[in-house]
Chains A and B, each alone.
Chain A
């Protein structure tokens, strides 16, 4: 079974609006990472947040982590059509046997 579960499964917004995606997980983690995937191609690493961090920024991206609720959120501000993609959270328990555990993803559509 998958560790992370993204919510919503799909999101459609207008250009310029903000997009928020959420991720919930089940077990303790070392870090949580967000990835983007365009049209079934390879995944692109966006941001990594450690278990002792609460918030992290990278350009238009803002990630929060609440280990007490076992949840994370990814905020994309001032979205662009080029942000249209699937977004996945991946949890890393530091256990080589598990490696990264990805959720099913959120499909974001940014309409011009």
Chain B
């Protein structure tokens, strides 16, 4: 059974550009969350989606947006990229996070130059 898959694995963008990151959850998982991890720090919560609806949003600017599709895959979009957006972006899916926790993908390493 495939785990959580994220694409692309690495990405280099220029300041001011837009980026779209993609995530496919484990089959049967309806909940997808996005986290940003800056080097040397713990992951910071960005968004959670469940059944295509936004269920939670972290303390990130409106430049960050996301959506979940009918097949439960998800996209994270970031507009007007800043140097400070350089980070590892992690996607996680769960069947029931309070019982099983999250399964994380390997992440997308975004570098903004």
Contact = CB atoms under 8 A, between A and B. Distances in A.
B67 to A, nearest CB: 17
B72 interface: no
B7 interface: no
A94 B92 CA distance: 16
- Category for how many chain B residues contact A: 20 to 34
A99 B43 CA distance: 11
Which secondary structure dominates where chain A touches chain B? loop
B98 A94 contact: yes
Nearest to B44: A102
A99 B56 contact: yes
Interface in B69-96: 88, 90, 92
Contacts of B109: 40
24 contacts: A30-B98, A33-B101, A40-B88, A40-B109, A42-B4, A42-B106, A43-B92, A43-B104, A45-B101, A45-B102, A48-B99, A48-B101, A92-B98, A97-B57, A98-B45, A99-B33, A99-B48, A99-B56, A100-B45, A102-B44, A104-B40, A104-B41, A104-B42, A105-B42
Interface of B: 4, 33, 35, 37, 39-45, 48, 55-58, 88, 90, 92, 97-107, 109
